[in-house]
C-alpha cells in the first residue's frame, strides 16, 4: 500500500504540473498560485470527509506551523510558475528536483542528525554536474522567452521554500491526521498567496491578474489531480520513510519531460534526455545509499 500511494502521488503531481503550464505562460506566477490553491478549498474537500471532527481540530491547533508552511508554499508556487515562461518544463522540473534532493542532505543533518555516506556526496556531485550540463544546452522552443539562465535560476530558487513546506507536511502527517493535514496545508498556501498579492498591490500597485470564468474553471480542472497527489503524498509520508517517497516522486521527471514534448512541442535532444535520466538515476540511488 505504501508504494502504491507514493506512485499515485507522483503521477497526480506530475499530471497537474504539466497541465498548469499553459496557464503559467499566460499570467504571472503569483496569480496562478492564487487561483490554483483557492480552488482546492472546494476540490480537496473529499480529504476532509474522510477525517473526523476531532482530527480536523487537532490539525487546526497547529495553525502557526500551517501559516509558515502556507507562506513558503505560496512563494514556491509563484517562483516555479514564473520559471515556466523562460524554460521548458522538463528541464525546469529536473533542475528543481535535483536541487531539492541536494537540500535534503543538510536538512536531514540539521533536523534529524542524518549524515549521508561518502557515496551520497558523490551522487550529489553527479546531480549538480548533470544540472550544469543540462543548463548549458540550448532548447529550440520559440514559444518560450529565450532566457534560459533566468529560468534555471528561478527553478533553483523555488527549491528552498518547497523544502520548508514539505518538511512541515511530513511532520504533521506523522503527528496528526494526514488527510486533514494535506487539506489545510494546501488551503494555507491559498490564503498565503492572497496576503502576498495584497502586499504586492500595496507596495507595487500590481494586483491579481483578472481572468474570465472559463479560465478559472480550466485552472481548477488542470489542478484537480492534486487531490490524488497531495492526499496520497500525506498518507505515504505517514506510513514510510520520506526518503523513499521522495525517490519515487523523482519519476515525475520523465513524465513531465514527455508531457512537455507531446503537449507543448518542447522536444529535447538526446543529450538533454541523457542528462535528465542521469539525474533521475542519481536521485533514486541517493535515497538508498
H or E stretch including 30? helix 29-43
- Average pLDDT, stretch 144-164? 81
Supply the pTM of this predicted model: 0.81
Asked if the model's pLDDT at residue 202 lies above 70, the reply is yes
Per-residue exposure over 186-220, b if at least 16 CB sit within 10 Å of its own CB, e if not: bbbbbbbbbebbeebeeeeeeebeebeeeeeebbb
- Is the pLDDT reported for residue 144 higher than 70? no
Q: In 3-state terms, what secondary structure has residue 117?
A: coil
> What is the percent of the chain where pLDDT is above 90?
31
Output the pLDDT for position 289: 64
Number of alpha carbons in the 13 Å side-chain half-sphere of residue 4? 1
The chain-wide mean pLDDT, for the chain, equals: 83
Of the candidates 67, 41, 248, 45, the residue with the CA atom closest to the CA atom of residue 172: 67
Cα angle vertex 80, ends 76, 85, to 5°? Answer: 155
Q: Tell me what the mean pLDDT of segment 22-46 comes to.
A: 89
| Confidence at residue 282, expressed as pLDDT on a 0 to 100 scale | 78
106-142 confidence digits (pLDDT tens) = 776 777 665 667 777 787 778 777 776 766 666 555 5
First-last CA distance in the chain: 23
C-alpha 7, offset from chain centre = 15
Provide the total of helices (H) and of strands (E) in the chain, helices listed first.
14, 0
Q: pLDDT tens for residues 232-243? A: 999 988 887 776
Amino acid at each position: 500500500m505504501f508504494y502504491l500511494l507514493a506512485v499515485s502521488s507522483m503521477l497526480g503531481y506530475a499530471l497537474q504540473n504539466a497541465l498548469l503550464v499553459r496557464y503559467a505562460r499566460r499570467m504571472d506566477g503569483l496569480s496562478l498560485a492564487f487561483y490554483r490553491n483557492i480552488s482546492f478549498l472546494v476540490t480537496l474537500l473529499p480529504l476532509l470527509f474522510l477525517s473526523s471532527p476531532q482530527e480536523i481540530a487537532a490539525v487546526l491547533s497547529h495553525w502557526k506551523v500551517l501559516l509558515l508552511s502556507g507562506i513558503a508554499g505560496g512563494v514556491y508556487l509563484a517562483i516555479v510558475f514564473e520559471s515556466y515562461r523562460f524554460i521548458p518544463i522538463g528541464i525546469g522540473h529536473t533542475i528543481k528536483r535535483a536541487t531539492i534532493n541536494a537540500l535534503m542532505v543538510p536538512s536531514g543533518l540539521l533536523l534529524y542528525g542524518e549524515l549521508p555516506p561518502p557515496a551520497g556526496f558523490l551522487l550529489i556531485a553527479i546531480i549538480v554536474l548533470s544540472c550544469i550540463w543540462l543548463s548549458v544546452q540550448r532548447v529550440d522552443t520559440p514559444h518560450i522567452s529565450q532566457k534560459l539562465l533566468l529560468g534555471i535560476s528561478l527553478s533553483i530558487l523555488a527549491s528552498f521554500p518547497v523544502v520548508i513546506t514539505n518538511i512541515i507536511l511530513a511532520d504533521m502527517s506523522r503527528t496528526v491526521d494526514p488527510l486533514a493535514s494535506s487539506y489545510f496545508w494546501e488551503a494555507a498556501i491559498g490564503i498565503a498567496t492572497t496576503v502576498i498579492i495584497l502586499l504586492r498591490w500595496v507596495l507595487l500597485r500590481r494586483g491579481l491578474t483578472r481572468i474570465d470564468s472559463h479560465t478559472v474553471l480550466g485552472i481548477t480542472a488542470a489542478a484537480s489531480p492534486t487531490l490524488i497527489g497531495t492526499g496520497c503524498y500525506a498518507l505515504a509520508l505517514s506510513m514510510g520513510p520520506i526518503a523513499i517517497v521522495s525517490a519515487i516522486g523523482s519519476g515525475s521527471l520523465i513524465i513531465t519531460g514527455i508531457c512537455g514534448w507531446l503537449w507543448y512541442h518542447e522536444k529535447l535532444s538526446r543529450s538533454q534526455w541523457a542528462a535528465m535520466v542521469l539525474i533521475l538515476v542519481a536521485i533514486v540511488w541517493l535515497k538508498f545509499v
